[in-house]
Amino acid sequence: MNEPPDAHSGLHSEQGALRGEHPGRAVAPIVKIRDLAWLEFEKPDLVKAEAFAVAFGFTTVLRTADELQLRGTDEGSPCVIVRRAARSGFVGAAFAAADTADVTRLAEATGRTVRPLPETLGGVAVDLTDPSGSAVRVVAGMHRLPELPGQQSHEFNTGRRIARINATQRPPREPARVRRLGHVVLQSTRYLETLNWYLRHLGLIVSDFLFYEGQRERGPVMSFLRCDRGSTPADHHTLALTLGPSNRYVHSAYEVCDLDAVAAGGEYLLDQGYRRSWGIGRHIQGSQIFDYWRDPDGFLVEHYSDGDLFDNTLEPGWAPMTASGLAQWGPPATKDFLGITPGPGLLHEARAALSTLRGDNEFDLHRLRGLMKVASS
Ligand SMILES: [Fe+2]
């Protein structure tokens, strides 16, 4: 008899699913997307937005009075698009389909139409909305920007394995160079419904589930989703979804070369007067070395390196959601990262919680208690 692959004997998680728990993938998804293509934002001040973007490590592809397109050094389309607007906001995510036929298939299955993307991007898109109200574009056939020279990883002497003799280690204190967009994290008042929508429509599969301690029987409250590329490995998460009192963007993450790039790039951002939210540390779910920053509009963005890649054979891991369980090493998760710093953000979230608790969604008093325990556990 063929044994299923055991993902839990020290391979990636201490716990697997219990009988009857969420399987973490749809039986017959409409399409299987290949990757996250780009994120779209609105911001009032594109000059300020670009200054931060350059210090963070992006390269500007396009700059007009009304639009900014930013890229990493990897080949492909821009990874961030910012349009000028009176107020700042997250507009939505674009996911890359395997080909234009998959975009058409998704349009037909959802009763939408395939539209051409602007000439600056090329290709086509189908515009959908997830159950949390977030805009989701699925795209294909865009122009491929050629690869740019990137940072080179350092040669490390590790104990007896000597790779560097008669040579020094001098990482320059310069902006890290962003290679590519890695993932986006979204919060939802309809987490499970939204999760199931992504599994069914985009063919994403769950790498790890988190549950509130003492509430596992009520189901998960966070999931890290990867692309199903068959035997080709994919990032541990391309999208993460979490239950919360409002529907909102949480953070997005951009890959840089290595720990030196994360650390020296961070020193550069501090020198420029930007604000670190939380870091440097190493995550558990996904294993990335991380460093979180606040951009001038208050959006949380992450530099990361050395993340896990899984093929489609691993089953979801299960773990309780705790603040201390967010990292293997590093400083304790900050109030800013956890979203509990007193201020307008917290006030907005508290107001949202009051109306969400009265509404028809998945966030109730029991879940609020579970969430409040996370920060102190
Ligand atoms: Fe992240």
| pLDDT per residue of the chain (377 residues) written in tens, 0 to 9 | 344 444 444 457 888 899 899 999 999 999 999 999 999 999 999 999 999 999 999 999 999 999 999 999 999 999 999 999 999 999 999 999 999 999 999 999 999 999 999 999 999 999 999 999 999 999 999 999 999 999 998 889 998 899 999 999 998 899 999 999 999 999 999 999 999 999 999 999 999 999 999 999 999 999 999 999 999 999 999 999 999 999 999 999 999 999 999 999 999 999 999 999 999 999 999 999 999 999 999 999 999 999 999 999 999 999 999 999 899 999 999 999 998 888 888 888 888 888 888 888 999 988 988 998 898 88
Ligand 1 centre distance from Cα of residue 281 (Å):
11
pLDDT at 6: 47
Name every residue whose Cβ is closer than 8 Å to that of residue 80 and which is 6 or more positions away in sequence.
38, 39, 40, 41, 53, 58, 68, 69, 70, 181
- Cα 148 from Cα 18, distance rounded (Å): 46
Q: How far is the CA of 137 from the centre of ligand 1 (A)?
A: 21
Domains, the chain: 35-143+174-375 (3.10.180.10)
Cα 293 to ligand 1 centroid, rounded to whole Å: 11
- d(CA 239, ligand 1 centre) in Å: 9
CA 197 / ligand 1 centre spacing (Å): 21
Cβ atoms of 229 and 311 within 8 Å: the answer is yes
- Residue 251 Cα to ligand 1 midpoint, Å, equals 7
pTM of the model: 0.94
CA 103 to centroid of ligand 1, rounded, Å = 27
Q: What distance in angstroms lies between residue 168's CA and the mean position of ligand 1's atoms?
A: 32
Rounded distance from Cα 233 to ligand 1 centre (Å): 18
CA of 63 from ligand 1 middle (Å) equals: 27
Q: Residue 323's closest CA among 374, 369, 279, 358?
A: 374
Q: What 3-state DSSP class applies to 202? A: helix
299 alpha carbon to ligand 1 midpoint, in Å?
13
pLDDT of residue 3: 42
User: Ligand 1 mean position to 192 CA, how many Å?
Assistant: 20
Strand pairing of 89-96 and 234-235? unpaired
**166 alpha carbon – ligand 1 mean position (Å):** 38
The pLDDT value recorded for residue 11 is 52
pLDDT of residue 5: 46
Ligand 1 mean position to 22 CA, how many Å?
Answer: 23
286 alpha carbon – ligand 1 mean position (Å): 9
**How many angstroms is it from 183 CA to the middle of ligand 1?**
7
Neighbours of 116 (CB within 10 A): 11
Distance 42 CA to ligand 1 centre (A): 21
Q: Record the tokens describing residue 340, joined without a space.
A: 């509990």
Compute, in angstroms, the gap from residue 252 CA to the centroid of ligand 1. Answer: 6
